[in-house]
Amino acid sequence: MIELLPNKHKLEYVAASGTLGFDGKGYPWEQLLIFLRLIDPSLFTVFSKTITFEKTKGNLRTYNPLTWSYIRPMRGGSLNSVGLSNPGFQRYLEDVAPKANSLKIPLVPSITSRSINELIEMAQKLNRYDFVAIENSVSCPNIQEDCLTDLDEIIEGCKAIKEVCELPLILKLSVNHKVEELVPKLEGIVQAISINSVPWSTAFPKEKSPLAHLGGGGVSGQIVQVHTWELVKKLVKITSIPVIGPSVWEFEDIGKLRDMGAGAVSFGSIFLTHPLRATKFVRKDMKINKI
Ligand SMILES: Cc1cc2nc3c(=O)[nH]c(=O)nc-3n(C[C@H](O)[C@H](O)[C@H](O)COP(=O)(O)O)c2cc1C
């Protein structure tokens, strides 16, 4: 468990960014399952789909799963090229932020920008609402040009957010970031590290992506544990910043991640391919471990 400061929010189970919509109430295809309590967002700390300052079209043009062309279920995971589709920060501020209620669904807005001024404005404004943390996502595998590879830029962005925002800061990294260089400089600034999906070109360097026309996409789930768990192990060795372990696929993965030293676990594409599993696993884990 990761205890965030100063609000003392306990981070144990995370619904990763993009899994339960912008407000934790799920996408239209998840809402019946939520109504039936087969998915229970209140069991998770829910990270919002990532928000950009301006509205971004991305590739998510329709909420109808039957017409998805940018998500490919794979054996043991999924490939997605949803991109950063979102209605923009102002809409999020008007529609979602005022309804945030950490007692019902602990919510973490996930933001991204290459502009320090935009990061500052977003962080400053989000600070006023009942969120439990803020995530700076610098690792979207689908929008290569927006992904921050400049380590100084990442550090500067995190420092700027911390300066204007009391919400605990979580940084979302890619398996391709040079963490040995980056992470030691973020001690005392970032309170936890989350991990994004793996660019297709990293996961399968010799094969052409079925979503090559959309930038290749990000692979997530069990099939990339070899990459994401490698990063968990590396981070645990080089930093005292707690790590949120991703790519849970089987119930036993929760224990495996804890054994690796992850402070919390996160559920990503499992929500997409096996929508009931995450809630089932969390209920079982809470029972066994009396959480
Ligand atoms: C459909 C879908 C949408 C996603 N949207 C975002 C997003 O908006 N921002 C982000 O940082 N990560 C996003 N992700 C990545 C997940 O939050 C998570 O980091 C990734 O799936 C790796 O975890 P996993 O192996 O447990 O699935 C998305 C993933 C999926 C499958």
- CATH code of the domain containing 60: 3.20.20.70
269 lines ligand 1 (CB under 6 A): yes
Determine phi and psi for 262, rounding to 5 degrees. -65, 140
**pLDDT tier at 147 (50, 70, 90 boundaries)?**
low
Distance 19 CA to ligand 1 centre (A): 7
Question: Residue 268 C-alpha to ligand 1 middle, in angstroms?
Answer: 6
What's the whole-number mean pLDDT along residues 269-286? 96
Is ligand 1 within 6 A of the CB of residue 52?
Answer: no
Q: Please, what is the average pLDDT of the chain?
A: 93
Please determine, for residue 24, whether its predicted confidence score (pLDDT) is greater than 90: yes
Q: Please report the pLDDT score of residue 82 as a whole number.
A: 78
Widest CA span in the chain: 47
Kindly state the percentage of the chain with pLDDT values over 70.
93
**pLDDT confidence of residue 63:** 57
Q: Which among 122, 127, 111, 114 has a CA at the least distance from the CA of 49?
A: 111
Query: 68-104 pLDDT, tens per residue?
Result: 677 888 999 999 887 788 999 999 999 999 999 999 9
Q: Which of 193, 1, 7, 28 is nearest to 100 (CA)?
A: 7
The parent domain of residue 235 ranges over 2-289
Q: Is 112 in the pocket of ligand 1 (CB under 6 A)?
A: no
Q: What is the chain's alpha carbon radius of gyration, rounded to the nearest angstrom?
A: 17
Q: What is the pTM of this model?
A: 0.95
Cβ of 86 closer than 6 Å to ligand 1, yes or no, is: no
Query: Can you tell me the distance from the alpha carbon of 221 to that of 93, in angstroms, rounded to the nearest whole number?
Result: 31
Domain count, the chain: 1
Q: Is 82 in the pocket of ligand 1 (CB under 6 A)?
A: yes
CB 271 within 8 A of CB 19: yes
How much is the pLDDT for 141?
64
235 vs 231: CA distance, rounded Å: 6
Q: Which atom of ligand 1 is nearest to the CA of 267?
A: 26
Q: Is the Cβ atom of 80 under 6 angstroms away from ligand 1?
A: yes
For residue 76, the 8-state DSSP code is T
pLDDT band at 145 (very low <50, low <70, confident <90, very high): very low
Which of 57, 36, 58, 34 lies closest to 46, judged by CA? 34
Strands of the sheet containing 244-245, edge to edge, are 107-108, 45-47, 13-15, 264-267, 244-245
Q: What is the mean pLDDT of residues 190-212?
A: 95
- Cα-to-centroid distance, 173 and ligand 1 (Å): 11
User: What does the pLDDT average to over 57-66?
Assistant: 62
